[in-house]
Structures are given as C-alpha cells and as structure tokens.
Structure 1
C-alpha cells in the first residue's frame, strides 16, 4: 500500500488499534479466529457464522414443521424448504440478507478477511502466551519459544534461533525476540512480512493481480488458470483500487455526519410527534367537552320549555274540568228536584215556585260549556346527526404529510442522503457464468426471446415470441419444457412472462388481448381479460398480484392472481392529469412496489408509486450517457439497483435507487448484442436475453 489511506493525523497506530475492539468479533467478543468477510463488509469468526447458520436451520425447520401441520398449501411448504446448495442468513449487525454455501463448509462462500487475520495474528504475537519451539518438537522436546522467524512464521527457542542464523538457507531470515515484540519494537516489520498465502498452493504468496478476473493470485495460479489474462504486480495494481477506495471512503465520510445529523433530526421529530399527539388529543377532548356542555345546556332548555308548556296546559284543563264538575252536580240536583216535584208535588206547590223554576230552567237550557279552543301539540325534530354534520360541528381532523424544507431536516440542499453510497460494489466487468442458445425442439423461426423470468429453483422461463412458445430451461441451459397452450388457450403472440408466488407462470399474449396463466407443466389455469386490450410487459409485486402493462390503453392494471379479477387501474398520468406513456414495452417493480416502465418515448423510464403517483423518470433518446435508443427489459434487485436493457445501443444501464446512472454494466465490449429481456435469479445473478436467441447469466456483485 502506498500509505495514502493513513493520512489522517487522528488515526490510531497499529499497536493502539490492536488494543481496541476493532479486531474482536461482535458475536463471540473475542479476537477474530479465522475471520470471514461478508458481502455487507462485516466480519465474523468462521465458527460464529456456523452458529448463525445453525440458528437459521433451527428456525427454518420449526417453520417448515408448522407449515406442514398448519396448512394444506403445498406451495407454502415448498417455500420454507431450503435449497440443496445454499441458504439465506441475516447479518447480525446490519440485517442484510445474504446467501451461504452449505456444501462449502470451509468458507461458506465468504472470503477470508486477510487484513483482520493479519491483525489478529499480530495481536497474538504481542501478548504473552505459552509458546513452544517448533524445531525442538522434532526431537521430542517441549521447550519454551523466545523468538519468532517472520520468514518461516515459526516459533523458536534461544538455541534453535542460533542454529537458524548458522544455516545457509535461513541465515538472512528476520528473527525477532517476543520480549521486544510485546514492547512494540517490531510492529512495522511484522506487517511487512504478512503476505496472504494461496489457498491452493499453500507455499506460494499471492502477489499477482489478474485484471480480468479481479483476483489476487499466486504465480502458480497465474500459470495454471490465468496465463492468458492481463495481470500486474500487486503493488502496482493496488494504486487504481486504492484511489477508488479512497474516493468511496471520502463519500462515506461525507455521509456519516449527515446521517448522524439526520438521525438527530428524526429523534427530535419523534419527540415532536409525541408532543403533537398530546396537544391534538387535548384539543379534541376540549372540543368534545365544549360541545357536550352546549348539548347539555340545550337539552336543559328544551326540557324546561316542555315542562312549562305541559304544566300550564294541565292547569287550564284542571280548572275547566273542576268547573264542569260543579255544573254537572248542580244540573243533576236540579234534575232530581224537578223530577220529584213534577211527580209528587201539588198544584199549589208548582204554582208557588213556577217563576223561579222557569227562570232557572231557561237559564240552564241556554248554558254553554267552558271548553278549550286549541289542543296543545308538542314535537321534537332532531337536528341532522349524519357523520358529515357531526364532523362539521365537531371540527375536521387533518392528518397529512408536507414536504420538509432542507433547513428543517438539517441537510444541505445539495447533500440529500445518498443511500447508494452504501450499496455493494458492482464488478467493473460482470462475470459471464453461462451462455446458451434458447432453441426449442421444433422451432420453425429464429428465436426471438422477448420475455424472461426465473422460478424459485432458478429455472429460466423464456418467451419465444415468433415461435409462439414459452420455454423452460434448467440453469445450465438444458430444455425442460415447452408450453404452447391448446385450443382456445393456445398462445398467439406471447410477449412477456412472470412467475407467480404459487410457482405458476403468467404470459402476456398481446394479439390475443389477454394474459394466460399456466402451470410449469403446461396445464392452462385461467385467462385474464378484464380491463386489458393489448398487453405487453408483465410482472408481480410483493403481494403476488399480477401487474400488466397495456401498450394500447397506455396504462397498468393490477389483478388477483387466483381469480384474475381487476383490482386496480393505474392510468399513468402526471400532476397535470396527462397520460405520460406513449409506446410502453416492459414493466418491473422495486422492493417498495414502485412500478418502473420502459417507454420508447423520451424520457424512456418512468416510475410510479403503487397507487399511481408519477414519481420520477430517466433517460432521453440518444446514444450518450443517460440516453437510450430503445428501452426494453427492466428489473430491480433487492439492493435497489435498477437494470435497463438498451436494445439498439447494445448495452445494459445500471441505475442507482434514486434513478441516476451508475454505469453501463454491459456493452458491446462485453459481446452484448441487442439485449431484450432482463431478470434476476434467487441468488442475485442477472439474466439477459438477446435478439436471435442467446441467453446469458452474469455475476455482477
């Protein structure tokens, strides 16, 4: 190394670094033993990784047992079954998912972290422990070691040290006393002599860098497998990568304060949420109490008016009833008197009283009852108690998100968080793993592989448009199955394909104006026609729903995978309510279920939220950077990288999660010719189909 990485005056010395927790595994809390570097750049002891695998196995076996006992769905049980050669684990530090090789017990597919191993060895040298002379062992003796040969990496006693200096082969070796090592007198010498040794040729140091394979190798490896490759000495090759790492380090160092600042902003924001919740709750309760008091007052007023009206009317009725009772009593008495007088009275008696009787009877005959002229009528008409009226009276609760100002979040306007800096490094030249021709058993035309998808067991599903077939290949290129459909379910002009969560496949058949679902064995399941006219691209989201891109209606429809029923239509409009799609071809989804569409019109790539909001776009018509001649297939990996096939420019664009161009991942220089469909395997390899039938699989991380 040239030393440019240690220009920070605040950096610890090697001796100081060894006494920190830097060389200790975060799982076992001990100094690293056989440290292994994970893709997320976190390091653990190999034995600790094995423990993680064992825990994952136990959890998986438990889930598999529960799935077998608790469901009749065979597909769910199959999802829980681990693959034969690899297994997924989660990094305990950053929670990133990754795959380990089950068969490769020695490394699990993770490289040795030679830097951490060398520092751990150095830590071991600098601390007292029981060491024995390795040469005395040959004589059956157990002698304490006092020195270390940096050339041989052997422990030696004082006597053997003297003999080591007297031997012609070893007299120039660097032998250092452990007593001096522990005082830090030989730190730089130890580091100078620490050279990684080849795993295959254990006596050979790895000091050659193969530029094609981007691997550090020994001279034996160079002669054996890399002789025709361009190479350079490690000390020269490192200059390029050191500059690259320094630039990446600067990017990360610039991000860390921003992230800490943003974390503080989020902490404050979380506190403000609680404060806002308390204030809002109090306001709502206060409004409820005010309205409750007003309602109680109104209730009391209404009840008082009702009682007053009813009591007044009752008094009137009681007075009239009493008067009538008195009158009827008087009449009844008069009637009884007259009746008896007429029956038993003498003429003299009648004549004596006739004047008074006639006057009274005349008065009674013309008597009118003191009745009532109007009847009391009471009623209560409730106010409208609809939800809308209640909301109007009570008050409207507003819950929404408003864009943050940069000053609020603490971030500069030109330094928004670039999570892409934390993405895994992409190879300068993706490694071509396998290549084969997508020929079928009875093709009558040139293969035209417009669509590609990958099953859970890494079988490749290829749509051959011109031969009107769907072909299923094993990963090694062996043809397993051809699907053409029968009768009314026969494929007319298939274009694209996706694999459903059930393991079945859905094929867009654009001239037939439908999407057909098949089992991988070829049996037709159902046909989707609802809401589509001329389907091209097709994919599935995280819910397993079928997403269909219609190039004639210039919209996207989302369907239930079991019934085919239309769930949602996304018209792909901008903020001005204008449709932005012109001649769309393919559709993909991100991990957040945002929808990515390739369109021949500029801008070429358009991104929509799951509910249809127009989020972003990329690319213009042309041949330069950020330009596309004819965008075809699109896909997105779980890191957030977006891949776009530029058919006429013979290249695959690699976009960052924010939509910015990272690089041209593949070009004509990589023998790429008219790429069409793109897909990703379960273990993160990129599948590319080319015009006239070639299928290629690349390792890009």
Structure 2
C-alpha cells in the first residue's frame, strides 16, 4: 500500500476521533507514527529524512548520515558501502553530495509532518505564513502554498489577481476532504549547466534528462526523445522486469515448498529406517548390539548432514525471497511517489536492480537426499541404503561378475631356492603373505625349525628376479608356525602358542596368547580388512576371533578346521585335508557352506591345502597331489568354476598381492601368476 493511500485512510478517520482509540485499538496518530517509523525515518540516524540521497541499491539515507558514513569507511575512496545490504555505490564529482536526491521521500516527510501538526491540538500551533503578526492560521492557499490567518484570507478575496486562488480551511485538511500535497512534487528540476532552463528532453544515448540548450550543444548527435515518451518506455521496462522478478519470487517460493516437503519426506524415511534397524536389532540383541549402534550412529550422521543441506537451502532461499520483496516494495514506492524526472534520472539504477533480481536462482536440494533405507542381512544386522536403485536396471541382464567367469592365469615370475639350508626332498610347509609395497614374505617350516624370508617383485619385465633374503626378527623364535599380513602391513606370527604383532620395521608392538590351556596349539592364522584376527585350532575344532589389540571377541565352532584359513566379508573360509572339503562359517559360527570337492578334480591321490580370496570374494584353493598340484577357482558362495592353474609343482600356501597377482608357495620356490 503506497504512502498517500495510507495517509488518506488516516485523514478519513480523523473527523470521527482525533485521539480516541478505534475498535481495533489503533489511533490515527499511531498509524501516522507507524508510517513514519517504517518508511520516513533514516535507518542510520533513526530520525526523519533530511535531504535524503539515493544509493545504487535504492536504499535512502540523510545527506549528513552518508557523509559521516563515508568518513568512517574511506574518506578519500570512490566507493560507499550501504550499511543495510553491503552493496557498493560509486561516487562521482563532489562525492556524496552528487548522489541523486530522493524528492519523493522529502515530499512525504513534509506531508506527514504537516498532517501531524493539523491533528495535534486542532492545528492551533500553525501560524500564518503570509504576514509577520504570527496570527493563528485558519486556512491554506494551495496556489501560494501558504497558511493564512483570518485577515490574510480576507485580503486574498479582496485582491483581483488572487480571487481565483484555491483556499481550504484547516478542518478540510484534517478531515481528509483535501489532501495536503508538497510543492516538491510539482517542482520542475532546473539544468545544472543552464540554471534558467527546465529539464525537458531525455537523451537515450547518455540515459539522462537534459534541457533544450544541452540537447543542441552537447547531445546533437545523440538519440533524443520527449519526456512523456521516455517516461512511458521506462514504465513499460519496469513493468516487464517486475513481472519477471515476480516469476523468480514464485520459483523461489515453490522451491521452498518443495524443499519443505522433501525435508518432511526425509524425516519420515529417517524415522522408518531407524524403526527397521531397531526391529531387526531386537531379534538378535545379544549378538549384534554393537553393530546396531554403529549403524544408528552412521544413520544419524548422514541424516544430520542432509538436514544441514536442507536447512541451508531453506535459509538461503528465504533470505532471497525477503530481499526480493523488499526491493520490489522500494521500486513500487519510487514509481508511485517520484516524478517522471526523478524516475527517468534513476532509470538505469531501477533497471539494474530489477535485472539483478531476475537472475536469482533458488538453491535446489537433490531429491535423492531424501532417500534412506535399511536392508537386513542374513549373517549380519544389515546395511544402510542411501540411494534408490533404478527400477529399469532390474530388467537388464546383469554383467557376469569376475567370480563367476572361468579365468586364465599365466606365470609371471618365480623365486627359486627359498631356504637352501633345507633339504627339499623331505616334506616341508611353505607359507606366503604379501605387503602393500609388493614385497613377499615366505615362511618355511621343516622338522619343527622355521625360517622367514623376504623377496621384492622385479620392477620390469626383463629385470632379473632378486634373491630371497632371510629375515632375522628380534622377538621371533625358530618355532614360527603361521604368518599373516594386515592391510596396514603389520606382520602377525604364531610363535609357539603366542600371536606376535610387528610393525613395518619388524619391531614388536604387542603379543597375546589366544588359546585356552597348554594344549591349545594354533594351526592357522588370518586377518581381515578391519584388522580382526582369527586363530584356528585343528585339535579343538574351533576358531578364536580377536580385536586388533588381541582381546577376545568370541570363540566359535569350526568343524574340520585344518592348517589353512582366510577371511572375507565377515566369513571364515578354510579347507580340510582329509575329508577334501571347502568350508565357510560366519563370525558367529553359523555355517555358510560346506563343499565336497571330490567331484571337482579327477583321481583320488590329492588333497586341498592353501586357500585365499580375491578382492571380489572369489575363492582359490590349492589342490596338492603327486607328482604336481593345481589351483581351483570357486565363487564367493562356494560354487565350483574351474581349474585356473595346472601343473604347479608342490603348492601349499597362497595369497594375493595388492595388485591382484596370485602368489603360490610351491616346493622350494615362490611362483607369481597374473590374469591373461
């Protein structure tokens, strides 16, 4: 609602009651005060505007306030920062003084101030402006722009040239029958270069209002049009941009509404997901409470992160809507209150501000962030699902996983004579583990005596294979039975009945005794991607599962456990030499599969030994026979795929390098294979 309309409302109400409160508990005076506070007071000094100046951002401040502001910011600078929106305005010529005047605000201040005087004490404080006797005014001459006392009003009526003047009583002004208008609204600005000339021409080239002499002297070759035509064009441009800004505002509001709905959807999905997690956890509270807490914590973390994204988008979009509404109100007030001269003078600023608003884009939040679900697992609590799987993908034929495709492997390199001090014609056990830097550790055990060797993979194809070097590690005896390497390259060794853990520099970090009693002799060792440690006992037919620090998690039954063990995806996989079986149990001892391998290879003089898993869960098993052995390939669920390596001498232990190469301990050598 524009200011004049508000003033008319006040004036129409004033004849009923000047200070008596209306039914809505509002007085005419309070309405005037509200108009003054909200629209006619400088936000810098909080007083009514005095010589208001307009900045590029369309905010207005008193001339003196802006001069003080410039002194506090940069007295010699050419820029002035608006204290409300922080936008900069370029200063020209005399600086703040050369900023455009806001005559509309000046006129409104004068009109509101005068209306207040008329309402206070029935206008008794208003004196005659036509004589020096300071008589109380009873009327106002609209042509002379003076308040008149009774004698001066009579004189007006007596003089011939004043008989046509329009004179109204103070009562008419108070009641709103006649609206007091400031003469500032009717002033025609004068040219700065020609003070005796009115501004009556608009230069499209320079985008400024000029006088006739200026149009001839300085703008002769420019595009010139009359003020009415220029004003009409300006109004049309402003109207078009206002409509576009309105669409941007609608877009922002629609985005806010959509984001709000998405946030509610996220809250619902979040609550349902937590409910599903809790329901599943309640079924096996004693076993997997720790995993439940981990999942809930992760769910909370992801939820809070997404809530932050939604809240930030809402805050930014709401801020843009408020700024857009304020700017539209300022433009509307200026277009309603300012004269055509002012509007044309400020046309460039008006259009620039509106153009900026049309470019505002709402901050969108991807709809996929609302999705969150939980899928329970058969052997574990389950997993979080953070993205909705496309339905179309289910109709396509899935590409076969590597673990389900028959593979071919080729010998890449071979390290011979691992432990020359040992006569290889006798049966011995050779185990291998790989470090992340492509170094290979080999453990050879013969007649109860152990030796640990290291060898590095050759850099190039034609680089000769390096000679294995025997390791002398302080803290290890010659009774090392098993070795394993963690993801962070820690060396784990079963030394007698004790598990010892060493760092990369082969310094002892800690050790623990996993067995129960003096007869608990470990026969196999493995470590998973989370650095959990599994120790197998052939005689006791069990596996003890330990934290990285050696503390016991649980003991679980492991029927047919032998001398070789590997871990993958919360499963323990091992072979049985005598019964020719490949067995898998989960971390709680529940059977996953038990495969009879007799149908997978011809002949009866063979037995399974070493076992390991690739990065995708494929299982590889050493088949030891006479005079040679093979490597068999199984899927993660225990299905036989095929024989991938034949004629591998005397294979026993087996592992994978970080680069996906298969390392096999065979006889007195270590063979490295790669896929072809």
Band of TM-score, shorter chain = 0.3 to 0.5
Q: TM-score, normalised by structure 2?
A: 0.37
Relative contact order, higher structure (CA 8 A, sep 6+)? 2
Q: TM-score, normalised by structure 1?
A: 0.36
